[in-house]
């Protein structure tokens, strides 16, 4: 079942609806078309190719555990700032894929790290204006390294993968499609 949910998350992040039907019967798609049952996962909307690529099958090298405020900001389209990162796990280099995990322990996003794991650990929980003193160099104003960036993961290279929002929305839609009333 976990692989089916993972497939649904990948499809949803790419803006594609997904129907899962039983393969235990002959001609499952024909059976579905005649009124058979299955589970429909409805995509929340189209996603740009880069975001779908990030949310998909790339190997995650580390995790950033964030607070509720960071979750809200990320879902609103913001970058992940060091202040929202509560802890770092794994060994990774700048540009590696990170899983961003909410306070409930559920991964909500993926993105490319602007720091290696050693520097990410040093700046987690700190304000962006404190980075020069912590890392020993001034904030980036150009592409000339080595200068700290004001964010752990930029919004341009961050994809919301769902987390509780995806699962909750999907389960509500599933229950409603089966005739269950969901209290608000």
pLDDT single digits (tens) 98-123: 999 999 888 899 999 999 999 999 99
Which residues, 6+ apart, have CB-to-CB distance to 122 below 8 Å?
134, 135
Confidence (pLDDT) at 142: 46
Note every long-range contact of 16-24, with CB atoms under 8 Å and residues 24 or more positions apart, other chains counting: 16/43, 17/41, 17/42, 17/43, 18/43
Q: Is the model more confident about 162 or about 123? A: 123
Confidence (pLDDT) at 183: 42
Provide the pLDDT confidence category of residue 26 given band limits of 50, 70 and 90: confident
157 CB-contact burial (10 Å; exposed 0-12 / middle 13-18 / buried 19+): middle
Confidence (pLDDT) at 140: 57
Q: Rounded mean pLDDT of 70-91?
A: 94
CA–CA gap between residue 101 and residue 109 (Å, rounded) = 7
Confidence (pLDDT) at 87: 97
Confidence (pLDDT) at 148: 56
Confidence (pLDDT) at 146: 52
Q: Rounded mean pLDDT of 155-176?
A: 62
């Amino acid at each position: 079942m976990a692989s089916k949910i993972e497939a649904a998350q990948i499809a949803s992040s790419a803006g594609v609806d997904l129907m899962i039907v039983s393969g235990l019967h002959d001609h499952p798609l024909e059976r579905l078309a005649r009124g058979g049952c299955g589970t429909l996962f409805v995509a929340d909307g189209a996603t740009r190719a880069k975001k779908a690529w990030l949310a998909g099958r790339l190997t995650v090298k580390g995790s950033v555990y964030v607070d509720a405020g960071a979750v809200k900001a990320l879902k609103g389209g913001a970058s992940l700032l060091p202040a929202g990162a509560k802890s770092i796990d794994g060994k990774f280099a700048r540009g590696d894929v990170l899983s961003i995990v909410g306070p409930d322990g559920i991964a909500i996003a993926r993105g490319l790290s602007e720091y290696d794991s050693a520097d990410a650990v040093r700046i987690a929980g700190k304000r962006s204006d404190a980075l020069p003193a912590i890392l020993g160099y001034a904030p980036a104003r150009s592409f000339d390294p080595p200068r700290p960036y004001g964010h752990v993961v930029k919004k341009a290279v961050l994809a919301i993968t769902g987390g509780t929002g995806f699962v909750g929305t999907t389960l509500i839609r599933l229950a409603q499609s089966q005739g269950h009333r969901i209290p608000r």
